[in-house]
Chain A
Amino acid sequence: MKSEIRISGLGGQGVIKCAYIIGKAASIFDTKFATMTQSFGPEARGSSCSAQLVIKDDHVEYPYLQNTQILVSMSQDAYTKFETEVDDEGLILIDDSLVHPTPPRKNIRQYAIPAMKFAEETGNKIVLNIIMFGFFVAMTEGLLDYDAAVKAVETSVSSSTIDMNMKAFNKGFEYGKSLLEKEALQ
């Protein structure tokens, strides 16, 4: 089983941190292998920025994406740039308070969360990426173990902000769960 994931947005939104936490959850608090690579140019400091993750049950050889299965976008530029590379059967997760999506191609499943709006409601926009991470954990259904995801957040943020970040994580996770439940009822 191989999952190829791109996390994208603007430099400063915590795009790379979000990818780091996903990789850490999979490879430190679970038994998978996760290789993360990231944009390193000036784009990582303000304009479109992205990180790539390859998660496998065994050793990752080729470190970059060959077939993007999951795209997370937190900015319009990033969505426009990377939407085209997503596999026809892939999954796209966006923040629809920041991205105006196009109708999904082929069999792509596309879900949205108003993550920035939620972040502003918590009083600190900095947790946007953690809300997206919670949403990611819910929507990828079992790719990451829930407990591993929680530990990855707790060990990746400063100790004084753990509560704030865990609230953000659960906000994203619960929103995702409710979307999936609604979909199941339809």
Chain B
Amino acid sequence: MTGKIKQIKTVPADPRGVLTGSHYLDGDHAAAEGCIAAGSRFFAGYPITPATEIAERVSARFPRIGGIFVQMEDELASMNAILGASWGGAKAMTCTSGPGFSLMMENFGLGIMLETPCVLANVQRGGPSTGLPTLVAQSDMMQARWGSHGDYEVIALVPDSPQECFDLTITAFNYSELYRMPILIMMDECVGHMTERVIIPEADKIRIVPRRYTTESPSTYLPYKADDDLIPPMPPVGEGYRFHVTGLTHDEKGYPVMNAATQKKLVSRLINKVKDHAEEIIITDEKYMDDAEIVLLSYGITGRVAIPAIEKAREEGLKVGSMRLKTVWPFPEKRIREMSKHIKGFVFPELNMGQVVLEAERCACGNCKVVRVPHAGGWVHDPEVIYDAIKEAAK
């Protein structure tokens, strides 16, 4: 039986990094401020539209607060650099989009295997390949889930506004320390390039999860020996702890042991440390759900675009609720399965041709309708199209 995730005493944010006040910021800049407020002082990246502004702002801000920004030679190196920085004790982040996300995938998997706390923001644009560099899409959602090879779980957070880019970047850093793994922030071009009011609280109102260091002595410490909650505490560097990390299947000592039993133990734990804590990880934003017979599922910008359609349908007496997923991975499967037994249907608009909706269909098990509202990207949905899908679900 997996224990609840260990509660680590949070600390207030370092006030040197926190621009307390109201700002008119785009989503990329807000994510950069979230990164800094969360205590990150190492960022490695390679410029790519529409994610460049995150790196640009961090590169301008870091030198004044003692952070290190490195523009790397490419995205492979960027991902590796933040893994190394994290093992060195830093809270580290990178950002990219489309093609760069593909390049980061192998080393993202290394981060999963090494259980390395760090944050990767993908400001999604249209693909495949170079696709639509300056235009919106949400078509990397399944790549976020399965893009690296092997079996694993991920945590992916999806903001719908510059304010949430700030807030969820802090959450991502906190999750990365709690669950000891790389966390994905799946932004999109619309949210990244949209400018709105962002309220940055005072530093002592921002709670930061510090690294979970081992309490074992250097002589008894094992780098991959997990606590009851399946999370292995990390070693502080420079204090006499000797350890080995490898992408090969490893035992609690961290050394390669390549057989079926070790593989089963390790991979099961990598998966279960997320699955068994899914309820603690999943965050949603819900509206009109009390009487909902139709539930509009969404994430990111699409959740906002759907609101006028939901309100129009409600004015006509259709009982439609909105459940916007701030956490898309892990997917809220228990909740969706339970809901499917009591409602007429789900409507799921996404800026892709049908990705996360596959999960809704799987969880609904045919209990209710699941209406897809696909869009190839390049622009957001017309709310009228979503309204028509709501009517179809209500039939």
Contact = CB atoms under 8 A, between A and B. Distances in A.
Interface stretch (B4-12, B171-179, B263-271, B300-308): B300-308
Interface string B289-323: 00000000000010011011000000000000000
B190 interface: yes
B22 A61 contact: no
Contacts of A60: 196
A37 B194 contact: yes
Interface in A2-57: 20, 23-24, 27-28, 33-38, 40-41
Contacts, number: 55
A61 B307 contact: yes
Given A61-B307, A62-B305, A36 B23 contact: no
Interface string A53-87: 00000001111100000000000000000000000
Interface residues of B, number: 20
Interface in B334-387: 380, 383
B380 A20 contact: no
Given A40-B134, A63-B190, A28 B23 contact: yes
A33 B24 CA distance: 11
A24 B194 contact: no
Contacts of B301: 63
A61 B304 contact: yes
Chain B interface, >50% SS class:
mixed
A24 B26 CA distance: 12
Interface of B: 22-24, 49-50, 134, 189-190, 193-197, 301, 304-305, 307-308, 380, 383
Interface of A: 20, 23-24, 27-28, 33-38, 40-41, 60-64
18 contacts: A20-B24, A23-B195, A23-B196, A27-B22, A28-B197, A33-B197, A34-B24, A36-B196, A37-B195, A38-B193, A38-B195, A40-B49, A61-B304, A62-B305, A62-B308, A62-B383, A63-B194, A64-B380
